[in-house]
Amino acid sequence: MTDETRPLGEGWDLHAHEWIAWSRTGLDSYEKFHRDAFLPLVPRAGQLTVDVGCGEGRVSRDLQALGHRVLAIDLSLVMSRAAAAHPAAPVPAVVADAARLPLATGTADCAVAFMSLHDTDHMPAAVREIARILSVGGRLVMAIVHPINSAGEFTGDRTDMDRPFVIDGSYLQPARYVDTFTRDSMTVTFHGEHRPLQAYTEALADAGFVIERLREPTNADPAKPWRRIPLFLNILAALERRGALRVRESRHSGTGEAGPVSRADPAARRGRGQAAGQLARDHRVPTLSSG
């Protein structure tokens, strides 16, 4: 199996250590493009905020610092452990598939999916599952690579800031991509899937969400060609109804029992650490911890 054919989650897990080092060294775009654009969209702290596809935990840490009671979730055990064991600001974390979240229906009032849904193999199922765990009126705040960005590229002379942006293939056809970057002797590999904008808006509508805000952050530097094309897409959506949900009541998704966390180490089952233990008691979710 090659990087281009393996499941997206498996690809990210394979390169998880690279990503953790890359992002914690400050080489990622979070500080430059995301934090100030994304966090203001997140509602004030409420009952529970679930970070779906938390990676190494950067958004969870910021939300926790803002007073949110956060549960971080990632399919990668390596990523989840990194979030739970951060030396300065550990967050309660659990290993689970975004399409099978280990929380009871209506448990949370806010969910964030920061730069994760385009890296999720079964995106519509993940959106439905996020809707299931939210209370009606709860919010989902998501960020993805803008579909225009993932569909094309700038061509021509790199010194020409007005060079054309070209979509060679089909914007409407989903397409897998694997991008590897090297900087400062470090390497990182991104696994994602281009999908047209309507794939996300239809998934949201089918799950019962109504879009309240849609923003397109990019690089405003006049010396960069990206000033003309959006880099990312941020969406704030409210859960209006549950009628469109395919709720599957089971020990994994309707009763609050633990979901697919079988790869977690014994610390996950013991739920050690004050914050992790409290979440585990309140929501019956075995969490990784830094203890």
Q: What is the pTM of this model?
A: 0.85
Residue 263, CA distances (Å) to 215, 259, 267 in order: 37, 11, 11
Task: Identify the pLDDT of residue 261.
Answer: 32
Question: Per residue in 186-214, pLDDT tens?
Answer: 998 989 999 999 999 999 999 999 999 99
Question: Per residue in 128-167, pLDDT tens?
Answer: 999 999 999 999 999 999 999 999 999 999 999 999 999 9
Question: Per residue in 227-276, pLDDT tens?
Answer: 999 999 999 999 998 754 454 443 344 433 333 333 333 333 333 334 44
63 near 41, Cβ under 8 Å? no
Confidence of residue 16 (pLDDT cuts 50, 70, 90): confident
Domain boundaries, the chain: 8-283
User: What percent of the chain clears pLDDT 70, i.e. is strictly above it?
Assistant: 82
70 against 32, higher pLDDT? 70
In single-letter form, the type of residue at position 5 comes to: T
Domain 8-283 classified CATH 1.10.1040.10? no
Task: Identify the pLDDT of residue 2.
Answer: 64
List all residues 6 or more positions away from 137 whose beta carbon is below 8 Å from its beta carbon. 109, 238, 239
pLDDT at 123 over 70: yes
